[in-house]
Amino acid sequence: MRTTFQLRNGQPPLIPLNKGGIRGLSMPPLNIETLMHIFIFSILLLLPSEANAHGLYLSSEGGKLYANFSDHSPASGAVVTVVDEDGIVIIRDTLDEKGIWTLPKGIEDDPKFIIVEMPGGHLTRIAWQEVLHGTSKGFFDYLSVRIAIGVMVLGGGGFFIKHLLNPKSKMSMSPPSTRIGTILILLVLTGLGLLDNLFCLLLCLLIISLFASLVVRKVFATIWRCKGVLIFFIFTGATLLWTDEGRSLAPVLITKMLAMWLWGVIWITWVGFERILLTLEKLRVPSVLIHIIAFTARFLPILSERLKMMLAAQASRGAKKGIRPLQLRNLAGGIGCLLLASFEQAENVERAMRSRGFSGAFPCLAGDDDKVPCVSLIFLFIFACIVWAGVILPCPVLFM
Amino acid sequence: MHISDGVLSPYVVGTGWAIAFPALAISIRRLRVDQVSVYGVVAAAFFAGSTIHVPVGPFSMHLVLTGIAGLLLGWGALTVVTVGLLLQALFIGFGGLTVLGVNIVMMALPGALMGALGRQWMRQISLKKRPWIGSLIGGGTILISASLLYVTLCTTHTALMPLARLVFFGHVPIAIVEGILSFWLVHFLQKVKPSLLGVS
C-alpha cells in the first residue's frame, strides 16, 4: 500500500508550513526589520562582486591594439607581453596614455598571443593573428543594440516580477513538490558542491538570494533563526587564514558553503517538510526510513519539552550544570530518565497504533491532486543548467 | 562534529556515500517495520538529549550520545542517528545534505559498531564492570568519530589541516565528559531497566 503524508482538513502539520508552501506565492507583510535584513544581506552579497565588475577588453584596428575597461576608460600603462606558442616572451612593453599599443614590424619569431596585464588582477589575452587582421565589431558592440536589449530586459523582467509577485497570476511559483522538482533541487545542490569558480559561485549566490527575496521571503526569518550556523562558517574561514593555501581557498569555500546552506534553507522553506517526505517517498526512499523521520519530527517537540522539565526539576533541587563528577552523574540520571520515559512512550504508541490496525504502512490519506508547478520547474531547470554549465564548461569559455 | 555542505572534495563525499549506503541498507533491513514508532520516539529522545549543553570553562559543548545510542539499539542506532543528522541538516542547518553520507560514516557508523560490540561484551562480564564498558564505548566512539573527521578534512585539502587539528583536539574533552556520562548512564540503566542494554 502506498504511503502518503498528505494532510486531511483540520489535521495539524508536523512542522508548520509557510503559506507560500501550500498555496503558491503568498507574500508576508513587509516590515522595516525584514527590509533591513534583505538590504544588508544584498549589500554583503554584492560587495565581493565589485572586484569582478571592472573587466579589461581588447580590440584592434589598423595595426593598433586598444585596451579599455568595461566603462570604456583606457587601460593606460598596462603591460603588454607578446609570447610565442611555447609561452616564451618575445616583446614586453606598456600601453600609452590612451590605452593604445602600435604593433612593431619585422618580428623574426612567430608570435602567438598578446597578453595585457594591469595591476588589480586584470589579465586578458588576444591572438596575434586577430590583432593583425583587426577585430570586427560584434553585434553587441553597437550602442543601439545594447539600449534595445536593456529596455527589453528591464520591461520583460518587470512584467515577469509583477506576475510572479501576484498570487492570483498563473505565473506564481508554487512549491515544486514533484519528483522532477526534487531531482532538480538536488541537482542544483550537487552542482553547487562541484563548482570551484568564484565568479560562478557568486553569480549562483546572487540568483539564490534574489530568488529568496522575491519568492520565498520566509527564508530570511529561517536564516535569522539558524544564524548559529554562521559561526561554523566564520570559524572555518578563520582557520583557513593561517596558511597561504587556505587564504586562496577561503573565498571559494565560504561562498560555496553559504550558497549551499542557503539553497537547503530555501528547499525546506519553499516546499515544506511534509511535502519533501512525500516526494522522497515517490523517489523510492524506503518507507520505513520516511516513517521514522516523520515520527521523530512529531515527537521531537514533546521530548524536548519533557527534557526541559526534567532539567528544571533537577535545577530546582539545587543541581548545577558542569563537568564535575557529581554534576555529570546528575545529568546522566536525567538523560537515563528521559530515555526510559521515551521507551515507555514508544511502547504505548506502538500498542495504540497496532490496536488501530497499523501494520507498518500508513493508509493512503489523500490523492496527489496538486497541479504541476510549471513556472517553478522551468526556473529550477534553467538554474540547474547555469550551475552545471559552470561545472562542466571550463571557466574561460564562460566568463573570460 | 557535523561537516557542512561545500567543504569536502567530491571524492571524499562519494566515498562517504559509497560506505554509508550499504551500511544504512543493512540497518534498515534489520529494523522491524511494525516498530517504526519506537525508533521514531527513541530518535527524538536522542536528538533532544544531544541538545544538552555542558559548560566547559568559558565555552559550552553539547553531548553527542552516539555511543549510548549504539549500546541501547545496536545496529539500529545507525538509522536513528542518520534520522537525527538529516533533521539537523534540514531544520537547524547543522551539517549538510550532500555530505550526509560522510556524516553518517563519521558519526552513526562508529556508534552502531561500537554499540553492537559493547552489547556483546556486556553479556560476558560481571555487573560491576559493565559501566566501564559503557564509558569506553561512549568516549571511544567520540574519539573514533573525531579521528575520522580529522582524516576526512586532511584528505580533502592541506589548507584544512589547521581546522582538522583544532576540531580533533576540541573533541578530546567531549570524549572525556561523554565517557564519564556513559559510565553513570549504564550504571543507572542496569539498575532500573537492564533489558535496554541487552542484559538480564
Neighbours of A65 (CB within 10 A): 20
- pLDDT tens for A127-176 read 887 777 776 666 666 778 878 888 888 887 777 666 666 666 666 677 77
- Quote the mean pLDDT of chain A: 75
A247 pLDDT above the threshold of 70: yes
CB nearest to A239's CB, from B39, B65, B163: B163
C-alpha cell of A101?
A: 599599443
Distance CA(A233)–CA(A240), nearest Å, equals 11
Cβ–Cβ gap B48/A303 under 8 Å: yes
Query: Between A380 and A6, where is the model more confident?
Result: A380
- Among positive and negative, which fits the CA dihedral A150, A151, A157, A161? positive
CB nearest to B93's CB, from A265, A294, A347: A265
Distance CA(A304)–CA(B45), nearest Å, equals 8
Residue B43: closest CA among A303, A276, A273: A303
A344 in contact with B at a CB cutoff of 8 Å? no
Contacts of A257 in chain B (CB under 8 A): 4-7
Distance CA(B52)–CA(B54), nearest Å, equals 7
B18 pLDDT above the threshold of 90: yes
- pLDDT tens for B162-180 read 888 888 888 888 888 888 8
CB nearest to A293's CB, from B34, B37, B83: B83
Residue where the block lists cell 535496554: B196
- pLDDT tens for A33-81 read 566 566 666 656 655 555 454 567 788 877 788 888 766 778 888 888 8
Residues 6+ apart with CB under 8 A from B10: A193, A194
Distance CA(A74)–CA(A94), nearest Å, equals 13
Distance CA(A170)–CA(A183), nearest Å, equals 23
Which candidate in A242, A258, A300 is best for mutational testing of the B interface (most B CBs within 10 A)? Answer: A300
Residue A68: closest CA among A30, A107, A29, A95: A95
Distance from CA of A94 to the nearest CA of B (A): 37
Cβ–Cβ gap A297/B87 under 8 Å: yes
Give φ, ψ of B8 to 5 degrees: -90, 155
Cβ–Cβ gap A303/B44 under 8 Å: yes
Neighbours of B169 (CB within 10 A): 11
B188 in contact with A at a CB cutoff of 8 Å? yes
Cβ–Cβ gap A257/B5 under 8 Å: yes
Contacts of A232 in chain B (CB under 8 A): 4, 94
Which residues share a beta bridge with A118? A122
Residue where the block lists cell 552545471: A388
Helices (H) and strands (E) in chain A, counts: 14, 7
Residue of B nearest to A285 (CA): B25
Residues of chain B numbered 135-174 and touching chain A (CB < 8 Å): 157-163, 166, 173
Cβ–Cβ gap A322/B54 under 8 Å: yes
B62 in contact with A at a CB cutoff of 8 Å? no
CA distances to A76, A119, B30, B101 from B22, rounded to whole Å, are 62, 53, 12, 11
Contacts of B65 in chain A (CB under 8 A): 335
Distance CA(B72)–CA(A93), nearest Å, equals 75
* pLDDT for the residue numbered B96: 82
Cβ–Cβ gap B37/A257 under 8 Å: no
Least confident of A136-140, A359-363, B75-79: A359-363
Residue B68: closest CA among B189, B199, B167, B195: B189
CB nearest to A347's CB, from B38, B65, B180: B38
All structural domains of chain A, each given as residue ranges with its CATH number in brackets, are 1-27+173-400 (no CATH), 56-135 (2.60.40.1120)
Distance CA(A46)–CA(A35), nearest Å, equals 16
C-alpha cell of B56?
A: 566547559
Contacts of B68 in chain A (CB under 8 A): 335
DSSP for residue B198: T
Q: What pTM value is reported for the model?
A: 0.70
Cβ–Cβ gap B187/A291 under 8 Å: no
Distance CA(A177)–CA(A155), nearest Å, equals 31
- pLDDT tens for B122-131 read 888 888 888 8
User: Which class is B10-197 in CATH?
Assistant: mainly alpha
Residues of chain A numbered 161-220 and touching chain B (CB < 8 Å): 186, 189-190, 192-194
Distance CA(B79)–CA(A194), nearest Å, equals 28
Residues of chain A numbered 346-365 and touching chain B (CB < 8 Å): 346-347, 349-350, 353-354, 358-361
C-alpha cell of A274?
A: 511534509
Residue of B nearest to A359 (CA): B34
A319 pLDDT above the threshold of 60: yes
Which candidate in A185, A275, A292, A348 is best for mutational testing of the B interface (most B CBs within 10 A)? Answer: A292
A273 in contact with B at a CB cutoff of 8 Å? yes
B48 pLDDT above the threshold of 90: no
Mean pLDDT confidence for A13-41? 49
Cβ–Cβ gap A299/B41 under 8 Å: yes
Say how many residues make up chain B: 200
Least confident of B44-53, B55-64, B102-111: B55-64
Least confident of A10-19, A385-394, B157-166, B176-185: A10-19
Contacts of B185 in chain A (CB under 8 A): 332, 335-336
Cβ–Cβ gap A295/B10 under 8 Å: no
Cβ–Cβ gap B83/A289 under 8 Å: yes
Residue A20: closest CA among A376, A374, A369: A376
Residue where the block lists cell 545510542: B69
A226 pLDDT above the threshold of 70: yes
CB nearest to A350's CB, from B37, B188, B196: B37
The answer to whether B88 and B99 have CB atoms below 8 angstroms apart is no
* pLDDT for the residue numbered B46: 79
Mean pLDDT confidence for A206-235? 79
Element (H, E) at A58: strand A56-61
